[in-house]
Structure 1
Amino acid sequence: MTIRRRTVLGAALAGATGGVWGFGGAAEAGRRRTVFVAGDSTAATYATADVPRAGWGQALGVFLRPGTAVQNAALSGASSKSFADLGRLDLILAAIRPGDTLLVSFGHNDEKIEDPARGTDPWTTFQDYLRRYLDGARARRARPVLVTPVERRRFTADGAPYLSHGEYPDAMRALARETRTPLVDLTALSFDLWTTLGTEATKDHFLWLDPGESPNYPTGIADNTHFQAHGAIEVARLVAAHARTLPGRDLRAIHDPDIPDTVLVWPPKRPAES
């Protein structure tokens, strides 16, 4: 177990860095600008029962100055279609205000075309649903940003990384160009990071734990999609560093290579599912 893992697993944690699904915080914050996150399990905020699992939306506030709020509405299992069809987009649009930002990141579950509730086609329905987010934000004078899906941990037997999202990132890139929407190419950025780290070092970013390492995963886990705290922080760093229209970016934090896992906290329940 690394020192970084020991610090996060041994912490007594409460609260929710990165915002919650109930949007009261945004109203109470008055006129300060808020970053809303619409996404899936890779971005979601997790609970104490999930430690050390974390999503990049849960860690995003680490790289923003205190005057900027984060409302992380990312939902495990969601696609661009199911998130909207469940009314989650409507909740964001009811709360978002002029000058706020909406980060939109889907793709993992849109790829599940066998599931009619979630699957989309990259060049038709995926783009059509994403337009709802962009148009809804702009109608409220908020700023949408498209974020391509973070890449999974995928290596061949020879240790060569490979891409896993098919045409969905390309479809989002094309939509960003067409609609003149800022884009964070998180697929490419994360793929480059995983390539640099290689097969073993990436395990400290993804949810890889040995048996007995965490009381929440007593038999261990080898998850190549979701992150532990360190990975969530580093992916959030990529988003904050490259989302140049993001309000309140803390450049000092973005360039600090020693952000500890202990900056993250976990609420008692998953806020998006409460």
Structure 2
Amino acid sequence: MKSKHGRLISSFVLTGLAILISSFLLQAPRPVLYIIGDSTVKNGSGKGEKDMWGWGSFMADRFDTSRISVQNHAIGGRSSRTFITEGRWDRILEQLKPGDFVIMQFGHNDASPLDDTARARGTIKGIGDDSVAIYNPIRKMNEVVHTYGWYMRRYIYDTKAKGAVPIVCSPVPRNNFKNGKTERARDTYGKWAAEVAKAGKAFFIPLNDLIADQYDKLGADSVKHFFPVDHTHPNKQGSTLNADLVVKGIKDLKKCALKKYLK
């Protein structure tokens, strides 16, 4: 049997270990959820200018931010290409660490021209390894432009290389109805987003279909109230719906640790 003195020492040791472990846990950095995308994810400053919002502006409210930090780095007008070429992705990679998460949604601006004098933001359609050399009149330099899938694969690969978790979303649908049904991106960016996620073993949220399903239930007359300015950028009510469906998509992901941080 231990002596009283021995039990006292053991008690001190255990108490000390408990204090050290508690201190470590308190100091351990929270994981970060990085959100990247275009204006349908964050419009303007993210505060609803002209009654246009992005779903990323409402994501922090849906997580326990005492346990995870939510950072919305999406910015209007960008494509899967220009978010990289402007250095925005590199700045995230400098901070990205094991245990973090990256939700990505691009596609709305990828169909733009490759080398126009307005924005030069387009990507080659598809997911192949095609590329084309251009002169970029905005950046005033030569540039090799790749496919949408090439850029999305880079986000996935870079995220995994940092020990973080990539989650790909298909782009949200626009307010376009045909024969009473929402036009979907099943043959374009929705399909390509799913394919690159599968090939890269990334998580995938079929956001285009999730939202379109809801639009079909609501009907065109109701959905039009979500779009007071144009057919692409929802108001607060519409973007809140979109955020709710991103959360649904997260909950449906098997073996994705991000769901444990949801409220």
**TM tier, smaller:** 0.7 to 0.9
Q: Which residue of the other structure, out of 156, 160, 171, is the alignment partner of 1:149?
A: 171
Q: Which residue of 2 aligns with 1:162?
A: 183
Matching of residue 66 in structure 1 with residue 59 in structure 2:
no
Q: Residues 218-248 of structure 1: CA distance to partner in whole angstroms, max 9, x if unpaired?
A: xxx3x11111111111111111121232255
* Deviating more after overlay: 71-80 vs 115-124: 115-124
Output one character per residue of 1:111-165: Cα deviation in whole Å (capped at 9) or x when no partner.
1145563212222211111111111111111101111101111113x53332257
**What SS does the corresponding residue of 2:233 show, helix, strand or coil?**
strand
Q: 1:193 aligned to 193, 208, 214, which one?
A: 214
Tell me the SS of whatever aligns to 2:148: helix
Distance in 2 of aligned mates of 1:57 and 1:66: 15
Quick check: 2:44–2:76 contact (8 Å CA) kept in 1?
A: no
Checking the alignment, whether the CA contact within 8 Å between 1:44 and 1:57 is kept in structure 2 is yes
Counterpart for residue 241 of structure 2: 234
Please, which runs of 5 or more residues in structure 2 have no aligned partner? 1-26, 129-146
- Helix, strand or coil for the counterpart of 1:66? coil
The answer as to whether partners of 1:151 and 1:165 remain within 8 angstroms in 2 is no
Q: Does the 8 A contact of 1:152 with 1:164 survive in 2?
A: no
Aligned AA for 1:56?
W
For 1:195-226, what per-residue CA distance to the aligned partner results, in whole angstroms no more than 9, with x for missing partners?
111112113333x1xxxxxxxxxxxx3x1111
The residue number in structure 1 matching 2:30 is 32
Identity %: 31
For 1:176, the aligned partner's letter is A
Distance 1:101 1:49 in 2: 25
Q: In structure 1, what is the equivalent of residue 143 of structure 2? A: none
- Whether contact under 8 Å (1:105, 1:147) holds in the other structure is yes
The answer to whether the aligner puts 1:122 opposite 2:134 as a matched pair is: no
- 2:177/2:220 contact within 8 Å kept: yes
Measured in 1, the distance between the counterparts of 2:33 and 2:60 equals 9
Preserved CA contact (<8 Å) 2:180 2:219: yes
Cα distance, 1:52 vs. partner? 2.7
Q: 1:142 to 1:197 in 2, by over 3 A?
A: same
Could you give the per-residue CA deviations for residues 172-210 of structure 1, whole angstroms, max 9, x where no partner exists? 11111111111001111111111111112113333x1xx
Tell me what 1:41 maps to.
39
Write the distance in 2 (CA, Å) between the matches of 1:91 and 1:139. 15
Give RMSD over aligned pairs.
Answer: 2.1
Cα distance change, pair 49–159 in 1 and its aligned pair in 2 (3 A): closer
Distance (Å, rounded) in 2 between the aligned partners of 1:82 and 1:194:
30
State the one-letter code of the partner of 1:59: F
Q: Which has the larger radius of gyration?
A: 2
Offset at residue 49 of structure 1 (A)? 7.0
CA contact (8 A) 1:64 1:248 kept: no
Give the secondary-structure state (helix, strand or coil) at the position aligned to 1:152: coil
Q: Counterpart of 2:87?
A: 87
Q: Which amino acid aligns with 1:190?
A: I
Q: List runs of 5+ in structure 1 lacking aligned partners.
A: 1-28, 209-220, 252-274
Q: How does 1:174-185 map to 2 (within 5 A)?
A: 174-185=195-206
**How many residues of Structure 1 are paired with residues of Structure 2 in the alignment?**
208
Equivalent residue letter for 1:242: G
Q: In structure 2, the residue corresponding to 1:54 is in which secondary structure?
A: coil
SS in 1 for 2:219: helix
User: How far, CA to CA, are the matches of 2:168 and 2:152 in structure 1?
Assistant: 9
1:241 alignment partner AA? K
Per-residue CA shift, 1:78-137, capped at 9, x if unaligned? 110111111111011111221110011101111114556321222221111111111111
1:205 matched to 2:205: no
Letter matched to residue 58 of structure 1:
S
Name the stretch that deviates more: 190-199 or 43-52: 43-52
